[in-house]
């Protein structure tokens, strides 16, 4: 059983290819399930499209959902297509996001923290001149927000939970009890975390989260899922089998995808 729940396409302004290109790539790679999950619009913004290179306009969201729905029908005999989204999570802006996801027939919603203290986590300039205490503060705030995202109940999956290391691998070396506290909360809430293989497109290499974090996640009974976070169709399903093997070695027995916001557990 092969699935990939995380990918992007031209709508977000920084990915290549149409949704159909990703579906065809998934069929070619013999996936059983592909979930489409472009970046959510900034639903809480007063502007229609404040950042055209980051995500689609607010008014584009219904067309996005409708396109997936049509492609789901078109490819029904080849692959199961799921309706998803990678949502930003801002602790003080839950309501407009909740409202939007309640309006559409979503199969799943991935919640990702992309901003800490108002700055994008992938913006490397944020670390300039910062000492270990400053880095620890950012890391703790990042994990606090992830814990809040789990507690919000808005998400089926939490996206790339150690993405701080993406363009700043040193972030992994800073220890803080917030990481375990957050994993415990995620386990209690039963929210899944994804193994996201896009680390290899960034400075950290490999995938998120690290093996060490996955071992601790297993201890806290956190369910897992898979996403390539592809921004080009060729990356669909990338390293799926390597991740499966690693998860088995760590001690996981199953992983999951989602249909109509209910988990479907699959043996690894």
Which residues make up the interface to Zn ion (CB under 5 A)? 8, 112, 159
Query: At closest approach, how far in Å is the CB of 224 from Zn ion?
Result: 17
Distances 194 to 4, 30, 52, 92, 224 between C-alpha atoms, Å: 10, 20, 26, 24, 6
Q: Which is nearer to Zn ion, 8 or 256 (CB)?
A: 8
Closest to 165 (Cα-Cα) out of 191, 127, 133: 127
Query: At closest approach, how far in Å is the CB of 31 from Zn ion?
Result: 20
Q: Which is nearer to Zn ion, 80 or 234 (CB)?
A: 234
Query: At closest approach, how far in Å is the CB of 132 from Zn ion?
Result: 26
Query: At closest approach, how far in Å is the CB of 146 from Zn ion?
Result: 12
Give residue 219's Cα distance to chain centre: 21
Query: Rounded to the nearest 5°, which phi and psi values hold at 218?
Result: -65, -40
Q: Which is nearer to Zn ion, 40 or 112 (CB)?
A: 112
Hey, how many other C-beta atoms are within 10 angstroms of the C-beta on 152?
16
Residue nearest to Zn ion (CB): 112
Give residue 71's Cα distance to chain centre: 22
Q: Which is nearer to Zn ion, 86 or 107 (CB)?
A: 86
Quote the CA–CA distance of 203 and 191 in Å, as a whole number.
28
Q: Which is nearer to Zn ion, 75 or 93 (CB)?
A: 93
Length of the chain: 268
Query: At closest approach, how far in Å is the CB of 238 from Zn ion?
Result: 15
Query: At closest approach, how far in Å is the CB of 246 from Zn ion?
Result: 21
Angle at 170 between CA 165 and CA 173, to 5 degrees: 100
Q: Cβ neighbours of residue 91 under 8 Å, at least 6 residues apart?
A: 145, 148, 149
Distances 241 to 2, 3, 107, 119, 249 between C-alpha atoms, Å: 9, 11, 24, 34, 12
Q: Which is nearer to Zn ion, 57 or 251 (CB)?
A: 57
Quote the CA–CA distance of 90 and 206 in Å, as a whole number.
27
Query: At closest approach, how far in Å is the CB of 267 from Zn ion?
Result: 28
Q: Which is nearer to Zn ion, 70 or 230 (CB)?
A: 230
Query: Rounded to the nearest 5°, which phi and psi values hold at 258?
Result: -135, 140
């Amino acid at each position: 059983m092969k699935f990939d729940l995380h990918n992007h396409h031209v709508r977000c302004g920084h990915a290549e290819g149409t949704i159909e290109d990703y579906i065809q790539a998934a069929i070619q790679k013999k996936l059983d399930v592909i979930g489409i999950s472009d970046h959510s619009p900034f639903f809480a913004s007063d502007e229609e499209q404040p950042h055209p290179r980051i995500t689609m306009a607010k008014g584009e969201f219904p067309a996005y959902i409708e396109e997936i729905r049509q492609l789901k029908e078109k490819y029904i005999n080849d692959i199961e297509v799921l309706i998803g989204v990678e949502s930003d999570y801002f602790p003080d802006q839950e309501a407009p996001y909740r409202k939007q996801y309640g309006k559409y027939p979503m199969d799943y919603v991935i919640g990702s923290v992309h901003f800490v203290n108002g700055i994008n986590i992938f913006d490397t300039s944020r670390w300039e001149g910062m000492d270990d205490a400053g880095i620890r503060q950012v890391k703790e705030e990042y994990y606090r927000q992830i814990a809040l995202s789990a507690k919000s109940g808005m998400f089926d999956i939490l996206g790339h939970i150690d993405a701080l290391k993406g363009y700043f691998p040193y972030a992994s070396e800073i220890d803080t009890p917030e990481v375990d506290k957050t994993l415990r909360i995620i386990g209690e809430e039963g929210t899944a975390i994804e193994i996201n293989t896009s680390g290899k497109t960034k400075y950290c290499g490999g995938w998120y989260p690290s093996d060490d974090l996955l071992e601790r996640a297993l201890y806290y009974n956190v369910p897992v899922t898979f996403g390539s976070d592809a921004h080009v169709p060729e990356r669909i399903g990338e390293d799926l089998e390597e991740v499966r093997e690693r998860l088995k070695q760590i001690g996981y027995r199953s992983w999951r995808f989602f249909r109509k916001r209910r988990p479907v557990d699959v043996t690894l």
